[in-house]
Amino acid sequence: MKKVFLLFMATIMLQGARADEGMWIPMLIGKNYDEMLRLGLRLTREDLYNINHSSMKDAILQFGGGCTAEMISENGLLLTNHHCGYDAIANLSTVDRNLLDNGFWAHNMQEELPANGVTALFLQYMDDVTDEVKEAIGDATGDEYTKKLEAKKKEIEEKAAQKGKFVANVKDYFNGNQFFLLVYKKYTDVRLVGTPPKSLGKYGGDTDNWMWPRHTADFSMFRVYADADNQPKPFSQSNVPYHPKKFLPVSIDGPREGDFTMIFGYPGRTNRYEVSYGVDLAVNVVNPSIVACRDLRLGIMRRHMDLNKATYLQLTSSYSRIANYWKYYIGQTEQLKRLNIVANKKKAEDEFSAWERDNNMNADLLGKFASIYSGYMPYAKYSVFYNEGIRSSAMAKNAAALKPLYDAYERFEATGDKKAVISKDTVEKYINSAKAAYRASLKEYDPGTEKEMLAEMTQLFYKNVPKEQLPDIFDKVILNPARLTKDKKHKCTKACYHGSSFADYADYMFAGTFLADSVKFNEFCKAPSFQKLKEDPAVAYAVSFSKNYSANFQPKIEAFNSKKAELSRQYVKELLTMKKGKMMYPDANSTMRVSYGKVLSYDPQDGIHANYFTTMDGLMRKYKPGSDEFDVPKDLVDLYKDKDYGRYADRDGSLHTCFITDNDITGGNSGSPVINARGELIGTAFDGNWEAMSGDIAFDKKYKRTIVCDIRYVLFLIDKMGHASNLIREMDIRE
């Protein structure tokens, strides 16, 4: 669509682009293509993105809602990260058949295992709808802006979805200055094909996470199935392998320093247009608070997981997700400080404000940002400890799911009409919602873990949040059990609280709530009443926190977010005008992007050089038998001793495990293909490096690296350890 706005934005985005920075929209490759050719690309523009014929975009999919995967055969075989398939692998594991720890390889399609809940989204096309959306919004601001935007998005999406045939999303770019419609086909019959044992898929554990050098075999394999017409269909034995429009050939030639690399994928979120006030808040309040909550959560989970293998399998996916971003926020804070990002942004903002004055903009946007952040600061810590701490408890979440029913009863009681009866439909609606929440929590619900989690998180909240911001449950019950027993309205049970610690309070709650017992919960659902809700200690806890939040904090937080979005939209709009021909690209927003760069070593510290690749020799130097993080299977040790690497060895005879590039990626790119100049797969991206963890807010050209699992190591493990020659034969492997 040749719209004036689109062409203007494309010009802003593409001039002055650097090879290593930027997550570009494939549809708007434009002048990037010339730079890509200069760096070594041998493909045409149409090879990269074409809606009329097969192109690179057709080999890339969004996997499971939060990762990327690539098609590597004509029969629906896909490659992604081990940590992207982790949840599905853990769900398919039992104590007796532990696929997660032992690994799994299907030696024919009949052995492949349905991965319930895993989805595969294939982009069909994208279309610029900026004019249509902006016309509908007009000059609206605040709540009116949001209502008009959501209404228009819904209208466009429903039309494009064609009554469920497609999944359609309207996404904003450049902080709401541009809008694209993205249309996908969604496949839900996805089956596990292969995974290395966890000791290899997570080799290095939390110690090596976000670090280079790395030796992790972070990959897993699945297959997409479809009906006889290659269309999406729920799991069925009659389904057949999906045939993609395009799949990636695999090169085992091996990358060399300076080689061109390209990454397609679905990066999640970056915030590179964040102002200095937001970065300062992250560094000094938000990130440390998140780390404190997650550190405590991980310690509790780890203790219970170590005691019981079944609990370990039940909690391991959740633990892995929490741990990943626990370390991320530690690293991000450290690098934001080290690189002086707040000071650098303030300097750039001073230049922006001067430009505003010189051009008679009279907006003083940075002054307005300063004002809203100053108003939000007193509530920032509460928000984090409430969401990351209190709401991390499954018991608290299940109790909170009953809050709408509690409110409905309370409204009826407030009318004073004793004959009034809440409608059956209303009760049924809220009960069904509570049931759904309860069922969802059972997957990762371990009573011992949950009880300790609630006690410790409640105490952490109490210690960190200003006392005047605490909900009344602290004064009424937790800190004053005597008031509870003297309250004539309180019906004391065998679990009546007489304790003096947060652990005692958790004991009291779990012993007295019907939510701790599925039988009692189901009995309540069959005969719900306001009296039962008021007497339940878990519901009382959730209601107190929820009322405190909705009355005293939610309006302020929502007002801050709304005003910040409005200012950010105007700020980026003016930046686009100010920068003109200079490099600008939209933040990541979980839509398909392409980045390009090269294989490149770096110097993380003075006097230290980090090579661009790692080998099996380095992996074995880290090897610690019996270690949770650095143990490896005996089969791999034997293969290493024999140097039995086959055709996957490098030219010097060593087996390369990982390599690094200077491509620009973020969360969501996990599993993304790393592609060479000829369009061949050479590895799968799985991490960033510690020295550049400020990257989601500020890209650092000197230190930013993408950590990649070398495809030769992947094939070696499939072939030599998994003995899955059927999968090797299925791929187009080029030497």
Number of helices (H) and strands (E) in the chain: give both, helices first. Answer: 29, 22
Whether 657 and 234 have beta carbons less than 8 Å apart is answered as no
| Whole-number Å distance between alpha carbons of 578 and 597 | 27
CB atoms within 10 A of CB 566: 17
Tell me the C-alpha distance between 90 and 99, whole Å.
7
Q: Are strands 656-661 and 706-710 parallel, antiparallel or unpaired?
A: antiparallel
Residues in the chain: 735
Quick check: is 723 catalytic?
Answer: no
CA dist list (Å): 314 to 200, 201, 214, 218, 306: 20, 18, 28, 21, 12
Q: What is the phi/psi pair of residue 121, to 5°? A: -105, 125
Is 83 catalytic? The answer is: yes
Q: Using N-to-C axis directions, what is the helix angle for 130-137 and 142-161, rounded to 10°?
A: 140
Tell me the CA distances in angstroms from 403 to 435, 536, 551, 592, 612, one per residue in order: 13, 12, 14, 38, 54
Answer for the pair 228, 273: CB distance below 8 angstroms, yes or no: no
User: Residue 482 is encoded by which pair of tokens?
Assistant: 């005597």
- Catalytic hit among 58, 73, 82, 83: 83
Place of tokens 């309006």: 555
Instruction: Look up residue 616 and give its two tokens.
Output: 């099996």
DSSP 8-state secondary structure symbol assigned to residue 388: I
Q: Which of 218, 446, 536, 664 is catalytic?
A: 218
- Identify the CA nearest to 502 among candidates 458, 468, 469: 458
Identify any residues that bridge with 656 across adjacent strands, giving them in sequence order: 615
Strands (DSSP E) contained in 555-672 are 593-598, 602-605, 608-610, 613-615, 656-661
The Cα diameter of the chain in Å comes to 87
Residue 130 near residue 138, CB atoms below 8 Å:
no
Task: For residues 279 and 369, give the distance between their C-alpha atoms in angstroms, rounded to a whole number.
Answer: 12
Q: Which of 670, 672, 687, 710 does the annotation list as catalytic?
A: 670
Phi and psi, residue 250, nearest 5°: -115, 130
Work out the burial of residue 695: count CB atoms within 10 Å of its CB; fewer than 13 is exposed, 13-18 middle, 19 or more buried.
Answer: buried
What is the residue whose two structure tokens read 């809220």?
Answer: 430
Q: Cα separation of 126 and 682, whole Å?
A: 27
Question: Which residues are designated catalytic?
Answer: 83, 218, 670
